[in-house]
Structure 1
Amino acid sequence: MSNSIEKAAQRLEQLRQAGAQMPAAPAASSSPVSTPEPAFVPEPIRVQPATEAVSPSRPRAAMPVGSKAVKLDFERLTAAGFVTPTAPRSMVADQFRVIKRPLIDNATGKGASVVQCGNLIMVTSSMPGEGKSFTAVNLALSMAMEMDHTVMLVDADVARPSIMKVLGLPPGPGLLDLLVDDKLEMSQVLLRTNIENLTLLPSGSPHAQATELLASAAMTDLVDDMGKRYSDRIIIFDSPPLLLTTESRVLATHMGQIVMVVQAEKTLQSQVKHALSTIESCPVKLMVLNQARSSDQEAYGYGYGYGYGYGQGQREPAAEAEVQS
């Protein structure tokens, strides 16, 4: 090492004698390897912070800022017999006010007893065509017009979805997409409506195993998550008929309340009893008799209590409901 330094010093002295301008201080303290470092090191230091500042902003810009907004046609819905904020007071609206009240009380812990998962409400029937989707939509609309409650309406009848069609909206991603893609966020498929307190979750993209997905562990996890994440929101599920498939029976095990729609002069008592036996585990059941004359009560034996009009058909509509626990 000392020989190298001496040789370097001798070389520098020779350069000075030859007339080269070489400062003494740098020559004594620097080595040939270290001289390029001052010019090289600052360059990555200047470039690297700029790269780090730009990169994280790209995924954030691509993330959805919120749920998609849709507009409900109130005039069209009112003409079809649905409860809307702009419709004049009607028998349908008044009767749904009566039907929804115990459901809301149970959902918010104001009922006679605490109902576990009371904010999860399933609307179903024994067989298809009894008016369950009509009831689910009207319940959601009526509840959403409450001052202190928000409502999510879920089309869980994945084999025969109808909620979007009833509301006059195009189909889109929704429930089934959440079940097959665990990276999809709820906010990416939820629809905000022009009723401030109402959001919609469509049935989603058609899937070959749609009914199996509804009975899957993924559905169980999703429903549990929805009930806990949206504990301040009432969630209404329009489910498949109880006697047509078994998926609705699986869904019923997660519900705090079930609304059972029965069509008068069509559904047999044996069908109603069979359907009720499949949802015995649910703590609260509300039974709604649809399209019934008042005189039909005794003949069909479905009970009495709260009523609402179906709003369709040639005869004057009426219905009855009986709260069961």
Structure 2
Amino acid sequence: MSIIEKALDKNRARQPVPETTAEQAATPEAAAREPERWREPVSQEVSIDFAWLRKQGLIVPGDQRSSVAEEFRMMKRPLLNNAFGRHAAMRVPKGRLIMITSSLPGEGKTFTSVNLALSMAMELERTVLLVDADVSRPAIPRTLGFHADLGLMDVLSEPDIQIPDVLLRTNVENLTVLPAGRPHGRSTEILASDVMRDLVDDLHDRYEDRIILFDSPPLLATSEPGVLATHMGQVVMVVEADRTPASTVERAMHQLDSCGVVLTSLNRATPGIGIGGQYYGGSYYGIERDHVADTPAR
């Protein structure tokens, strides 16, 4: 029995099952619902602060078109194509598991993770789980404007804590957050364990329409992202233009050899610097597949 199935059994034992009348079962809305056995009960709901998102220059659901929203519409498309290719042969194995990382701190990986999550949550017939996997310096709750305590590390290290106990449903439709949880002294070994592998497999296999984004630590700051990458189908490598040396990016990329699809995002670039993407309103973002950008970040 999987980790999530055990948690579902535990939750069902605690909660009464609501009765459904024949009239309710016959409605189109009821027919369109997922079977109850596939549902992950979420113990908490949190409210993302849209004013705080706007202040940070992040995508704000419901706002009029912005340059940032357009940039991330462009960025997400190859990732979604790899994950949900029209034909099975076009899909990347486990392409719905996507890690966002960088070489060094401060290059914009959390900015990228949050914006990708918000943009992907706007897709029709898609759901997004945003996982704060930067367990030493978690930033997702603070960036979204709410507080979180328990999370990923607690599920992996405490048998009595299950995924449904820590998932946070947000006020953005189709977006759920899994916080990092409390720090642990053996986080690298835990992320490399069979428990982590089984958890990632459960999260991936539970819903076919789900994208799972992992906001990872910088590759050269800790050993954890190299371990996490072994579970991923795709990796987005964020590189800050005019700051990160090409040699640093190359060293970081060696930790991603286990992942067959690595895309790069050039962040905070000036017009004219690029790798074949598009330029919008003051920020440049480009993506290439399987290698570092031809134009080195300096």
TM-score, with length taken from structure 2: 0.80
Read off the aligned partner of 1:97 and give its amino acid letter.
R
1:243 to 2:220 alignment:
yes
CA positional deviation for 1:67: 2.9
Q: Which amino acid aligns with 1:98?
A: M
What displacement does 1:76 show? 1.9
1:108 counterpart residue number: 84
Q: What SS class does the counterpart of residue 78 from structure 1 fall into? A: helix
Larger radius of gyration: 1
The percent of aligned pairs where both chains have the same amino acid is 52
Q: Does 1:119 align with 2:85?
A: no
Unaligned runs of 5+ in 1: 1-57, 298-302, 310-315
Is 1:305 the counterpart of 2:277? The answer is yes
CA deviation profile, 1:41-86 (whole Å, cap 9, x unmatched)? xxxxxxxxxxxxxxxxx95249996431111111221221111212
By how many angstroms is 1:271 displaced?
1.1
From 46, 49, 60, the equivalent of 2:14 is: 60
User: Contact 1:99–1:306 at 8 Å: present in 2 too?
Assistant: no
The equivalent of 1:268 in structure 2 is 245
- 1:148 alignment counterpart: 125
Residues 84, 142 of structure 1: 8 Å contact kept: no
**Correspondence for 1:87 among 44, 63, 79:** 63
Match of 1:99 among 75, 78, 82: 75
Q: How far did 1:144 drift? A: 0.3
> 1:196-215 maps to which residues of 2 (within 5 A)?
196-215=173-192
State how far apart, in whole Å, the 1-side matches of 2:170 and 2:71 are. 24
| Superposition RMSD in Å | 2.3
Q: Which digits, 9 at most, give the CA deviation of each residue in 1:223-278, with x for residues without a partner?
A: 12211223321000001111222211111111111100000111110111122222
**Aligned-partner residue type, residue 65 of structure 2:** R
The answer to whether the 8 Å contact 2:98/2:236 transfers is yes
Where does structure 1 differ by over 4 angstroms across 4 or more consecutive aligned residues?
A: 61-65, 306-309
Q: Secondary structure at the match of 2:283?
A: coil
Q: Which residue of 1 aligns with 2:268?
A: 291
- 2:138 aligns with 161
Q: Say if 1:61 and 1:149 are closer, same or farther in 2 by CA, change over 3 A.
A: closer
Taking structure 1 as the reference length, what is the TM-score of the superposition? Answer: 0.73
Q: Does structure 2 conserve the Cα–Cα contact (< 8 Å) formed by 1:294 and 1:319? A: no
Amino acid at match of 1:276: M
**Which 10-residue stretch deviates more, 136-145 or 200-209?**
200-209
Deviation at 1:323, TM superposition (A): 2.9
- Unaligned 5+ residue runs, structure 2? 1-11, 18-39, 292-298
Q: Pick closer, same or farther for the CA change 1:181–1:81 going to 2, 3 Å.
A: same
State the partner residue of 1:282.
259
- Which whole-Å CA distance do the structure 2 matches of 1:163 and 1:67 have between them? 18
